[in-house]
Every structure is written in structure tokens, then in C-alpha cells.
Amino acid sequence: MDIRTAGIDDLDAVSDIASIVDPPHDGGDFDRAYYRHLMQHGRVVVAEASEIVVGYAAVIDVDGSQHLSDLFLHQDVRGHDVGRQLLDAVWKDGTAPRQTFASLHPAALPLYVRSGMTPRWPLLYLHGASERLPASSLVVEPCDASVAAGHEAEWLGWDRRIEYGYWSRRPEAQIFGVREGTTTIAVGCAVNSRGVHSLARLAYGDASDACDVVAAAARWCGEDVMVAVPGENPTVPTLIESGWRYIEHDLYCAGEPDLIDPQRLLPHPGFM
Ligand SMILES: CC(C)(COP(=O)(O)OP(=O)(O)OC[C@H]1O[C@@H](n2cnc3c(N)ncnc32)[C@H](O)[C@@H]1OP(=O)(O)O)[C@@H](O)C(=O)NCCC(=O)NCCS
């Protein structure tokens, strides 16, 4: 098995293996631009057997930390130490803290713990009817990506302009802002892929706005909406009490406790 750094010429091979081992679980379109973004702005390594890509791992920089976006192997090569080799190869350096959303595959968590990350909280995938959420008087409207990135920089202290480039260019996605009067209090990304509506990401400055902001943003996304919510986010009781269904969860693992604020972010699992 060869482990090597991938380049943009590997986009087809990585997209092919990803479409087999990590197809869209919600029935939406396969998002090839996601893999192009990883190759252009992150670090991707591949595992090759007889010159065929059988697995890959990808890391992007998030505010000085290394976020493991993906680690996927073809079924036939699992359980033979290839996951560990890919993981060892993909980290850029030994000092920047590491984080990821671990799947519940039994081999994933042990790898991440040995790689210096501690399991911290679940990322809950929930689905439900936006009309069942409490009423909100907040106004939601399309927002320029650079304006949204500017709000996040002010509220959360990080620069996500590069990822906003990806989110804003997805043909089925729309960046939005949530206003209270004339003041923007949240920004996010709504996706409608083959009629599957997702609140793909949401960030806001004040945790006490969370429930109101999610209710307004979900209505704007569509009637039935998917969302990924940190278990300790203030919206979780509201969503469950409003009849939203739990689908599955990942586990947020990180080398340091406060790399992100789960009270003020509904993260995009791949790019945070
Ligand atoms: C998760 C995945 C990347 C791991 O790669 P892998 O090559 O199969 O795993 P490895 O063989 O390198 O190592 C897994 C380790 O976990 C250990 N392990 C497996 N099941 C375990 C369990 N239930 N409890 C404790 N350790 C376990 C293995 O024994 C091994 O450790 P060892 O080398 O000391 O024996 C791969 O199985 C995969 O692609 N799974 C499906 C996709 C997925 O869920 N990816 C993770 C996304 S976050």
C-alpha cells in the first residue's frame, strides 16, 4: 500500500472513492466541488494499491487548528492499519491542535484518541418540520458571502472567507443573514439538493439567540429540514420538544477543549 500526498490530478480518483464509501446519506446530489475545495485549500493524502486509490484523508486549517474533514477507506482494505497510516500522513505539523467529527465506526474513535484527540460532545443529526418550531419575528434574507464572513470574524474571532467561497458557489446553496430590526445577529448557509433542505451551517454572536435564530432560519430553508447540532447547543431541547427526529450522531473529538464554541455554531461537519 502506498500513501502519498494528492494533487488536483487526483480529483477524479478521490471523488470516485468518496462516492462509493461516503455517498450523500440524505438523498442529495454528490458534491464534487467539496473534494475540489479540499484539494485546493486543504491537504489530501491517498492510499493506493496497484495504482488504484482505495482511501483518502483530508485536513483543512480552521483558525490555526487542523480539522480532519474526511478519512475513508474502501471496504476491502479496512482493518489493516491503512487508516492509521493515512491519519499519520495527513497532519501538517505536530503543534497545531487537531479536531474532527468521528463517525461511529468502531475503528474511528480509537484512531483519533491515539492521534491526540479527546471525545467531547455528540453532533446530533436531526430532521423535522420547521413549522413546528416556535414562531419567530426575525427576518431572514440572502447575504453576500464576504459580509457573512465578516460577521463571523467579529462574533467568533475567526476568518472563514475561504470556506464561504465554497458555500456561496454551491449551485444549490444560499448564504443568508438573520436580522433583528436592522442588526444582523446570525449568518448561515441553506442547501436545497433534490428537494432535501438542510440548514448546512449557522453562526451567531449570542448563545441566547440560538432558538429564535434556528426557528427563523429553518423556516427560510424549507418545510422539512435537516440540521447538525452540537449536543450542548441551547436549541437541542427545543428541537426535540418540537417533534424533530434524531437520525444519528458523530462525536466531536479535539486535542484542546475550546477550539470552537458549540453554543454559538451549528457546524458544517466537513469544513466546520
Ligand atoms: C475508520 C477507518 C478509516 C479506520 O481505518 P482502518 O484501516 O480500518 O483502521 P486501522 O486498521 O488503521 O486501525 C483501527 C484500530 O482500531 C482498533 N479497533 C477496531 N475496533 C475497535 C473497537 N471496537 N475497540 C477498540 N479498538 C478497535 C483496531 O484494532 C485498530 O487498532 P490496532 O492497529 O491497534 O489493532 C475505516 O475503517 C473506514 O473507512 N471506515 C468507514 C468510514 C468511516 O467511518 N470513516 C471514519 C470517518 S470519521
pLDDT in tens, the chain (272 residues): 999 999 999 999 999 999 999 888 766 788 899 999 999 999 999 999 999 999 999 999 999 999 999 999 999 999 999 999 999 999 987 789 999 999 999 999 999 999 999 999 999 999 999 999 999 999 999 999 999 999 999 999 999 999 999 999 988 899 999 999 999 999 999 999 888 899 999 999 999 999 999 999 999 999 999 999 999 999 999 999 999 999 999 999 999 999 999 999 999 999 99
| Rounded CA separation 210/231 (Å) | 13
Listed residue (225, 223, 220) closest to 141, CA to CA: 220
Helices 161-169 and 32-41 cross at an angle (nearest 10°) of: 160
| Rounded CA separation 37/174 (Å) | 17
Residue nearest to atom 45 of ligand 1 (CA): 72
Angle at 260 between CA 169 and CA 213, to 5 degrees: 65
Give the pLDDT of residue 23.
87
Residue nearest to atom 30 of ligand 1 (CA): 107
- Number of the ligand 1 atom closest to the C-alpha atom of 78: 8
Torsional sign, CA 3, 111, 247, 166: negative
- Number of the ligand 1 atom closest to the C-alpha atom of 85: 12
Whether ligand 1 lies within 6 angstroms of the CB of 33 is answered as: no
CA of residue 21 to ligand 1 center, whole Å: 15
| Rounded CA separation 264/258 (Å) | 12
Whether ligand 1 lies within 6 angstroms of the CB of 25 is answered as: no
CA of residue 180 to ligand 1 center, whole Å: 46
Same fold, 2-96 and 125-266: yes
Whether ligand 1 lies within 6 angstroms of the CB of 56 is answered as: no
For the domain 2-96, what is the CATH code?
3.40.630.30
| Rounded CA separation 217/239 (Å) | 13
What are the residue boundaries of the structural domains of the chain, listed by start? 2-96, 125-266
Please indicate, yes or no, whether the overall pTM of this predicted structure exceeds 0.85. yes
Pocket test of ligand 1: the residue of 72, 114, 115, 253 to mutate, having most ligand atoms within 8 Å of its CB, is 72
Whether ligand 1 lies within 6 angstroms of the CB of 142 is answered as: no
Among left, alpha and beta (phi > 0; psi -120 to 50; other), residue 81 is left
- Number of the ligand 1 atom closest to the C-alpha atom of 22: 42
- Number of the ligand 1 atom closest to the C-alpha atom of 80: 11
125-266: CATH topology is: Aminopeptidase (3.40.630)
Whether ligand 1 lies within 6 angstroms of the CB of 73 is answered as: yes
